[in-house]
Chains A and B, each alone.
Chain A
Amino acid sequence: MQLTLEFGGGLELLFGSKKKHQVDVSPSNGHIELTVEALLVWIRDNLLKERPEMFMKDKSVRPGVLVLINDSDWELCGRLEGVLEDKDTVTFISTLHGG
């Protein structure tokens, strides 16, 4: 599944200072669909370069990180249970620093 991932608000520093990533992610074994929860794990294991605690807390993003799916608030899409589709854009913005 082709996804565009965007990181902002300082989060890009955890990803080699690159804000936009084109990635190919498959649902894990035994799953047909890719949920946001599974995507977070994939990002942590495959894309994240440093300090995972700045990105995740327990199974979710760290509080203060906004998540948008195709420019829409992920709270509208079931948060962790939200199911991603091919060509979706997922945006992560940290609000924990600066203003």
Chain B
Amino acid sequence: MGRQMCELCKDRRAALIRPRNRQQLCQQCFFVAFENEIHKTIVDNRLFKPGERVAIAASGGKDSTVLAHVLTELNRRHNYGLDLFLLSIDEGITGYRDDSLETVKRNEIQYGIPLEVLSYKALYGWSMDEIVREIGRKNNCTFCGVFRRQALDRGAAKMKADKMATGHNADDIAETVLLNIIRGDIARLSRCTAIITGEEGALPRCKPFKYSYEKEIVLYPPSMYYLYSCVGTYSPNAYRGYAREFIKDLESIRPRAILDIIKSGESFRYALTTKMPEQGTCEKCGYISSQKWCKACVLLDGLNRGLPRLGIGRTRGKSSSATGIQTDNSSSDKQTSIRNDKRILKPSLDF
């Protein structure tokens, strides 16, 4: 089986079919092609400047492991002159990070770049396990996601990074384009295909794997040989999962679909009449926010007041928690108004 030869070297047996062009390549030729494409993406889009200090958002999963490997390798090979380090967040989910933190520590040694680990408990006073005890397994993804996003930014700022690189791949971005369409979130739709975001803020983020298929990242050796395990412990019913499955269904019929969805996302132009949220800063913590309080502070406030469902979008039924607050806690006008804003500016909010 698998007797086809590599289309490039014509010398070794092919090891995979590339989703982007159906090319059959051997491992060696695939690695070279994969790395060269990332290099081209970095150069063409000017993702980095010489001398920059770059935080690699490291979860211990396949994407960030491969990202750490490829970036250190390209930095050395092409003299980018980057000061790279790994930045990890420990959500405090029992058992969930044990393996991945081990992986990140291995990466630290393997690639010779320093590692910084920050915990939710240290940053917010709550671990994910504690949050799940409050809220149950249903809506906790909102907390985890919102807290993680800020945690990375704060960690990177604390470590004096100029920029952060994340392992988002083409499948992730295609999925996000679809999700934003489904949710009518025009503001996010207009941003989600950008390869660099937040340039106006203190800490720009970039996605060197924007055009890289997930399949290829999995088959790239640093991820392949330890068979990573990341199962989204607390997200069995996540809405995002449906979009993910849909993307994978499309891919199995026509792999190009993934890059084409990204292309469509990049090509949208928005009517001037489209209402976009104004970006400001959170009154509480100073983090970038389109509301008085940023999402993390709203969620955290709910948790600390024993009302953990506060701030979770699309509350089921008749928003009983919102009305409940109004009647039994008069000091929560601010919260109620945030919730009301949410309904008016629906496209700009929510996750």
Residues of A within 8 A of B (CB): 6-10, 12-13, 19, 62-64, 66, 68-73, 75-78, 82-83, 85, 91, 93, 95-99
Which residue among B1, B4, B59, B169 has the maximum number of chain A CB atoms within 10 Å of its CB? B1
Complex A-B, nearest 9 residue pairs according to Cβ-Cβ distance, in ascending order: A98-B230, A8-B227, A10-B231, A64-B248, A73-B16, A63-B248, A99-B63, A97-B232, A63-B252
Which residue of B219, B228, B244 is within 8 Å of A8 (Cβ)? B228
Confirm or deny: B2 has a beta carbon within 8 angstroms of a beta carbon on chain A.
yes
A96, B245: Cβ atoms closer than 8 Å? yes
Residues in B neighbouring A97, C-beta threshold 8 A: 230-232, 235
Residues in A neighbouring B13, C-beta threshold 8 A: 72
Which residue among B14, B17, B229, B251 has the maximum number of chain A CB atoms within 10 Å of its CB? B229
Residues in B neighbouring A93, C-beta threshold 8 A: 218, 227
Residues in A neighbouring B251, C-beta threshold 8 A: 63-64
Q: How far is the CB of A54 from chain B (nearest CB, A)?
A: 10
Q: How far is the CA of A85 from the CA of B171 in the complex (A)?
A: 33
Q: How far is the CB of A63 from chain B (nearest CB, A)?
A: 4
Q: How far is the CA of A71 from the CA of B227 in the complex (A)?
A: 12
A63-B251, A68-B219, A98-B232 given; 12 more Cβ-contact pairs under 8 Å: A9-B218, A9-B227, A13-B231, A63-B249, A64-B248, A64-B251, A72-B14, A72-B16, A76-B1, A76-B17, A95-B214, A96-B245
Query: Provided the pairs A98-B61, A99-B62 are in contact, do residues A70 and B230 lie with their beta carbons within 8 angstroms?
Result: no
Residues in A neighbouring B224, C-beta threshold 8 A: 71
Q: How far is the CA of A33 from the CA of B215 in the complex (A)?
A: 29
Residues in B neighbouring A19, C-beta threshold 8 A: 227, 229
Confirm or deny: B194 has a beta carbon within 8 angstroms of a beta carbon on chain A.
no
Confirm or deny: B90 has a beta carbon within 8 angstroms of a beta carbon on chain A.
no
B1, A98: Cβ atoms closer than 8 Å? no
Query: Provided the pairs A63-B249, A64-B245, A98-B232 are in contact, do residues A75 and B227 lie with their beta carbons within 8 angstroms?
Result: no
Confirm or deny: B15 has a beta carbon within 8 angstroms of a beta carbon on chain A.
yes
- By secondary structure, the B interface counts as mixed
Q: How far is the CB of B171 from chain A (nearest CB, A)?
A: 8
A-B contact number at CB 8 A: 102
Task: Name the CB-closest residue of B to A98.
Answer: B230
Confirm or deny: B348 has a beta carbon within 8 angstroms of a beta carbon on chain A.
no
Residues in A neighbouring B155, C-beta threshold 8 A: none
Residues in A neighbouring B16, C-beta threshold 8 A: 72-73, 75-76
Q: How far is the CA of A54 from the CA of B241 in the complex (A)?
A: 12
Q: How far is the CB of A25 from chain B (nearest CB, A)?
A: 16
Q: How far is the CA of A13 from the CA of B96 in the complex (A)?
A: 13
Q: How far is the CB of B251 from chain A (nearest CB, A)?
A: 7
Q: How far is the CA of A66 from the CA of B1 in the complex (A)?
A: 17
Which residue of A6, A70, A76, A98 is within 8 Å of B231 (Cβ)? A98
Q: How far is the CA of A99 from the CA of B209 in the complex (A)?
A: 12
Q: How far is the CA of A70 from the CA of B168 in the complex (A)?
A: 28
B229, A8: Cβ atoms closer than 8 Å? yes
Which residue among B167, B231, B241 has the maximum number of chain A CB atoms within 10 Å of its CB? B231
Q: How far is the CA of A67 from the CA of B34 in the complex (A)?
A: 20
Q: How far is the CB of B290 from chain A (nearest CB, A)?
A: 27
Residues in B neighbouring A62, C-beta threshold 8 A: 245, 248
Within 8 A of A (CB), among B56-70: 59, 61-64
Confirm or deny: B172 has a beta carbon within 8 angstroms of a beta carbon on chain A.
yes
Q: How far is the CA of A57 from the CA of B231 in the complex (A)?
A: 19
Q: How far is the CA of A9 from the CA of B226 in the complex (A)?
A: 10
Query: Provided the pairs A73-B15, A75-B17, A76-B24 are in contact, do residues A66 and B218 lie with their beta carbons within 8 angstroms?
Result: yes
A6, B227: Cβ atoms closer than 8 Å? yes
Which residue among B168, B171, B172 has the maximum number of chain A CB atoms within 10 Å of its CB? B171
Q: How far is the CA of A98 from the CA of B172 in the complex (A)?
A: 10
Task: Name the CB-closest residue of B to A71.
Answer: B15
B229, A99: Cβ atoms closer than 8 Å? no
Task: Name the CB-closest residue of B to A99.
Answer: B63
A66, B230: Cβ atoms closer than 8 Å? no
Which residue of B1, B232, B249 is within 8 Å of A69 (Cβ)? B1
